[in-house]
Chains A and B, each alone.
Chain A
Amino acid sequence: MEDLKLELKRQIIEVLNLEDMQPSDIEDAAPLFGEGLGLDSIDALELIMIMDKHYGIKFSSKEESKAALASVDAMASYIQQHRTK
């Protein structure tokens, strides 16, 4: 699980071009949107693409994607349960 979280943090930094950040700067439970990393809706699309391309996860509803992308903890937990890759 810890390896998966580290992998996710590296992917988030890479696709969102967060050049000044290290994986250790992103807290596992911190919200990715709003007060946390402050990501926006287009950043959400990039996270949706990470879930799709790397883990074979397609979301069918916005509520589902919102909950799954709330934090690194939420992403890792969702991937463990639903990954097809």
Chain B
Amino acid sequence: MSDKEWSGRTGGTQGMQQSLISIFRHFPPWVVYPIVWIWICFYILFAPAGRRGIWHYWHHRLGYGWWSSVLNLYLNYLEFGKVIMDRFAAYAGRKIHIRVEGQNILDRVMNGNSGVIVLSTHIGNQELAGYSFHAPKPMYVLSYLGDTQTVNENRRRKFEQMHLHIIPMKSDGSHVLEMHNALSEGNILSVHADRLFYNTKAIYAPILGQEAAYPEGPFRIAVAEAVPVVSLFMMREGADTYTLYVRQLSDGQWTGTSPKEQVCTLLQRYIAANEEMLHKYPRQWFHFYEFWK
């Protein structure tokens, strides 16, 4: 696996993950923060690919000085640790307080007869967005099932509670039929749009001033299906508190330009929404590998 690929696995052993869920059934997530402060040091020291990726983000893309980048690198990892703890707290059934910005977009788009594509992202707590968003119609989530058994089982259980359906991502691409059928029946389809899996075709566009590779599939599907497209960003504000930002990227009406140009336009809108969130919450960038070319 190269530095540009992501393993798709949550850190820690299954036993550790199960223990966290047991703890959070009785205690709030902050009780384990002292362990997180130390734990992330091991990741920073012994996972060089992730460290290089976050360093590049702070020092080269955001333009922070050396010491400031070192500090923010640590704080970025720390924020990720807290987000992961919140995810396990959600598995344990703990309540998360959420303020929604863009409820009118959600109401308008999600209550229509047409299918809807949610282009998800690895900024903020994207998994929590799925659990906390009460969709008015069935929601299908294209999911990479390469995580640990504990995470996959708890993810599946939470999905069932929220009436979410998993479409497993397959290396032969056979999941596209399920995606099309879900959309043609007027359902919601959530797809990661910022990670390359299984050597998928890439398209390139600048984010934070430098070109990066994005998977072509989610954007081509959105244009081909001609359905409304939104992005949801679940940004952490503090312990148990999040803001869900809703951004509409397309109403599904594409006219006057070629499909290729439409795909590029949609990608640019997606990146602009990502950049908006990064300017507000720079420490919630969770690509722990070399994201840029």
Binding site for B on A (CB under 8 A): 15, 17, 40-42, 44-46, 48-49, 52, 58-59, 61-62, 65-66
Contact = CB atoms under 8 A, between A and B. Distances in A.
Q: State which size class the interface on B falls in.
A: 20 to 34
A42 B176 contact: yes
Given A17-B259, A42-B201, A58 B181 contact: yes
A45 B260 contact: no
Interface string B144-185: 000000000000000000000000000011111111110010
Contacts of B174: 41, 62, 66
B224 A45 contact: yes
Interface stretch (B103-111, B214-222, B230-238, B275-283): B214-222
Given A42-B216, A49-B224, A17 B176 contact: no
A48 B225 CA distance: 11
A84 to B, nearest CB: 14
B257 interface: no
B197 to A, nearest CB: 11
B181 to A, nearest CB: 7
A52 B184 CA distance: 9
Contacts of B260: 17
A14 B225 CA distance: 15
B217 A46 contact: no
Contacts of B180: 45, 48-49, 52
B258 interface: yes
Find the residue from B173, B181, B258 having the highest chain A CB count within 10 A. B173
Contacts of A45: 176-177, 179-180, 220-221, 224
A58 B178 CA distance: 11
A59 B220 CA distance: 20
Given A17-B259, A41-B172, A62 B177 contact: yes
B179 to A, nearest CB: 7
A44 B178 CA distance: 12
B221 A42 contact: yes
A17 B173 contact: no
Contacts of A44: 173, 176-177
A54 to B, nearest CB: 14
A15 B217 CA distance: 14
Nearest to B176: A45
Contacts of A66: 174
A42 B221 CA distance: 7
